[in-house]
Chains A and B, each alone.
Chain A
C-alpha cells in the first residue's frame, strides 16, 4: 500500500461533483459488480469512489480512464451517487489541474478538438464534404431542420455511410433540411467526460452561437452522444433547441407515411442499445419500431438488452483510447449477437459502429454478421 498524496483543491473539485449523494455511498459494491469491465478484467468502481470519499485519490491510477460512462452502475446505484460525474471530476483534475499525466491518445485528441473543432484534427472546411454527393444544402435562415452528423461520419470515410443514408432518406421524404458544415464543431460530450471541461464549454458555446446565428430551432442527430449533450447539457449554457435522434425522426416519417418501406430485408437483425440513447435518455422502443417497419426483417433481442444492455466500450472518451484485444466489450457483444443468430447487428450510434466494425474485422466475422446503422437499413428498404 503506497501513501497517496491528498490534493486539497483537487479533492474539493471531486467532492463537489459528487454532491450530497456521494457522501451517502455505503460502499456496497453494486457498481463494481454491475460494471461491464469486470466481464473482461478487474475494475473496482467502488474503490475509486471510496478513495474520493476519503480524499485520497491516486490520480496516477490508470483505472481513472477506464469508465466508458455507460451508466449501468448509475442506473442501479441504491444511493443515487452520480458516479459518472465523479469520474469526470477526477479526470478533470488530471486534465486541467495537472495532477497526473493524461493518456497520450486522449491528450492528442483533446488538442485536435481544441484546435480544429473535431477529434480527428481535420480541417473545418472539409467537414461538409460528405454531403456533396448527397446534394445537401447549407442550412440558412428559414430551413426547417438542421442535420448534425457528428464528427465521426463527417470525417471518417468508414462510417460516412450513416450520414449519407440519413441525407438520402431526408431528401426522399422531402424534408427541408441543411447542414452547417464548417460552422459546426464537435458536440463536446465525450471530451467533457474525459475531463476537459473548458474545451467542452468552448465547443458548446461555439455551436450554440452558430446554431443561434443561423436560426436553428430543431436539430436532427445521428449520434446519441450529440443528442445527450444538446438535449441535457446545452440548455444550461443557453442553448435551447429541439433535438431529435434519427431513430425517433425516422419513426415519425414512417408513421406519417412520408417514407414507404417496400424492399424486403429477409434477415435476422439484433439491435444494440447505445448507452446514451437507452440508459441515459430512455429511448428503447423507437429504434425497434423502425426496424420492425422494414418488410421481412426479423428483429431478435440480445440476452442483455434495453436497460441491461452492454456498452460497446466507446463512451466517456474511450473511443479515443486503445482497448487491448481480449478486453473489448464490442467483441463480447458481437459474440452474443452471433450466438443469438443475428445476421445483422443494427446500431444507432457512430461510436458503436466504429467499435463493432472493428470487432468484425479483428475477429474475422465479416462473413457471418454485418454492422448497419438503422438509417442504412431504412435507406436500403426504400
Chain B
C-alpha cells in the first residue's frame, strides 16, 4: 500500500489536484511531458470573462506546486508503464535527459543567449524560433534550461576531423557548470495508491478544412496562435501583427467559430469554450488598438457560464465587436493577402463576402494524441471522441478503480471547471490513500 498519488499532466488541472493533495499531507508525484509545468493555460494571454492575465494568476500556483514539501515534480518525463491496482500501483516513468543538471542550473539564460542553433518555438505554436539550448518559456517551472538534441549542433553534427565536438558554447559559458552532454534518460519507479490523469487537450489542426485556407494563407491563424501573437511574452512582444510580409497591424479581424467542431466530418461535439475565448480575443484586440473592429461568425453563441452573457454584451457595446450569425463557407484571399470571407448572413438571408485583415479560426479542442497510449497503459476506457470515460454521478472516476481523470482530457470544459474537477479528483484520490 502506498499513500502517494501520481498526477499525470502538469496543466492547471494537474497543478490544482497536486496542490490539494499536498496540502492534505499526501505525497504527490506530478509527471509532465514538456520541460515545464503550466500546460495550455500558460500559453493563453488572458482568461475570460475577467481578462485576468493568464500566466499572472497561474504562475503563483506553479511555484507553490513546485515548492511544496509534499510534491515531486518530474518534468520532461513520461509514464511508460503502470501495474497493480487501487492502493498499490507501480509506475515506471521515463525521465528524459535535459543535458543540463537541474541542481546546478540557475536559469540565468546565458546558454540560450550564446547558443548558435535555432529550433521552432513550440511554446509559441511554432511562430518564430528559439535556441537549441533553451528555457521552455519565460516563467517556466522548474526554471531549468535544457538542450534540444534534435537541433543541438554538437549532438547532431558529430565530431570534426580532429575528433573534437563541433560546438560546446553553452558548456563554455555556463558559470554554474550545469551543462552535461553525457546525461542519460532515466527510468524511475514509483509506488502510488491512486492516479489522477489530467492530460488536457491539443488544438485541432484545421489544415484538412481546405476551404479555410489555413497554411495556404498567411493571415489565417488559429486561436492558439493568436493567443501567442497578442501576448506580451509572445513572438511579437504582444504587438498584434499580420503574418504576411507586409507586417501590417490588422484593423479588421474575423473570428470563425466551430472550426472542426459540431461537424460530423471532423469532431461532432461542441468544444464549449470557443464562443467565450473568441469574445475575449476580440475584446483584447480592441484594447490593444481601439480602431480594431472584430467580427465573430457564429452558429449560436454559447455563453452559458457565470458572467458570460454580460461579457458578450460588453464586447458588442464597448469593444467594437459585431456578431454575425453564419457558419463561414469559404475563405479566399485577395491580391494584398487579405482574407476574403464568404458567408450567408442568415439574418438578412444574403450571401455576402467580407474582406478582413486577419482571420482567427476557433478550432476545436481534441484530447492529446497520447491519450490513447495512456488509456492502454492504465486500462481505462475512452469515449467515442477519445476523452477519458466517466459517468454523470462519478464525474472524475475513470473505468478503473483508483484512477481518476479531470480537466479537458475527459471532456470539453473551461479553466474554472477544470480546477473544480481537479479538486474533486484530489478528494477522490485522497479517499484511497488515507
Contact = CB atoms under 8 A, between A and B. Distances in A.
A complexed with B? yes
Interface of A: 26-35, 38, 42-44, 46-47, 76, 78-80, 307-308
Contact of B342 (A33, A42, A43, A44): A33
Interface string B401-419: 0000000000000000000
B263 interface: yes
A76 to B, nearest CB: 7
A78 B350 contact: no
Contacts of A43: 351
Contacts of A80: 264
Given A38-B344, A78-B264, 14 more contacts: A26-B300, A29-B325, A30-B328, A32-B329, A33-B327, A33-B342, A35-B351, A38-B342, A38-B351, A44-B344, A44-B351, A76-B329, A78-B327, A80-B264
Contacts of B349: 44, 47
Interface in B321-349: 325-330, 342-346, 349
A42 B353 CA distance: 13
A308 B264 contact: no
B211 interface: yes
B343 A33 contact: yes
B346 A28 contact: yes
Interface string B379-403: 0000000000000000000000000
Interface string B32-76: 000000000000000000000000000000000000000000000
27 contacts: A26-B300, A28-B299, A28-B327, A28-B346, A29-B325, A29-B344, A29-B346, A30-B329, A30-B344, A32-B344, A32-B351, A33-B326, A33-B343, A34-B329, A34-B330, A35-B351, A38-B344, A42-B351, A44-B344, A44-B351, A76-B211, A76-B265, A78-B262, A78-B263, A78-B264, A308-B210, A308-B211
Contacts of A47: 349
B5 interface: no
Nearest to B209: A76
Contact of B258 (A42, A76, A78): A78
Contacts of B299: 26, 28
Contact of A307 (B210, B327, B342, B351): B210
B305 to A, nearest CB: 21
A33 B329 contact: yes
Given A27-B346, A28-B299, A33-B342, A78 B265 contact: yes
A46 B344 contact: yes
Contact of B328 (A33, A35, A79, A307): A33
A360 B118 CA distance: 55
A30 B264 contact: no
A33 B330 contact: yes
A29 B328 CA distance: 8
Interface in B295-329: 299-300, 325-329
A28 B326 contact: yes
A279 B262 CA distance: 22
A339 B161 CA distance: 56
Contacts of A38: 342, 344, 351
A35 B263 CA distance: 18
A15 B325 CA distance: 25
Contacts of B344: 29-30, 32-33, 38, 44, 46
Ordered nearest first, which 6 A-B pairs have the shortest CB separation? Answer: A33-B329, A29-B344, A28-B327, A78-B263, A32-B344, A38-B351
B350 A42 contact: yes
Among A28, A46, A76, A307, find the residue whose CB has the most chain B CB atoms closer than 10 A.
Answer: A28
Contacts of B265: 76, 78
Contacts of A307: 210
B327 A30 contact: yes
**B211, B299, B327, B343, most chain A CB atoms within 10 A:** B327
B299 to A, nearest CB: 5
Contacts of B264: 78-80
Contacts of A76: 211, 265, 329
A273 to B, nearest CB: 14
B1 to A, nearest CB: 50
Interface string B200-220: 000000000011000000000
Interface-centre pick from B211, B300, B344 (highest chain A CB count, 10 A): B344
A33 B345 CA distance: 9
Nearest to A72: B329
A239 B370 CA distance: 47
Nearest to A78: B263
Given A33-B326, A34-B330, A46 B346 contact: yes
Contacts of B345: 29
Nearest to B350: A42
A78 B299 CA distance: 11
Contacts of B342: 33, 38
Interface string B210-235: 11000000000000000000000000
Interface string B346-382: 1001110000000000000000000000000000000
Contacts of B351: 32-33, 35, 38, 42-44
A43 B262 CA distance: 25
Interface string B230-266: 0000000000000000000000000000100011110
A27 B262 CA distance: 13
Nearest to B298: A28
A44 B211 CA distance: 19
A196 to B, nearest CB: 30
A29 B326 contact: yes
Given A34-B330, A76-B329, A29 B343 contact: yes
Contacts of A33: 326-330, 342-344, 351
Contacts of A30: 327-329, 344
B255 to A, nearest CB: 15
B326 to A, nearest CB: 5
A48 to B, nearest CB: 11
B266 to A, nearest CB: 8
Residue among A29, A35, A43 having the largest count of chain B Cβ atoms under 10 Å: A29
A42 B345 CA distance: 12
Nearest to B299: A28
B254 to A, nearest CB: 13
A216 B342 CA distance: 47
Interface in B265-295: 265
Nearest to A43: B351
A18 B258 CA distance: 24
A59 to B, nearest CB: 19
A362 to B, nearest CB: 25
Contacts of A32: 329, 344, 351
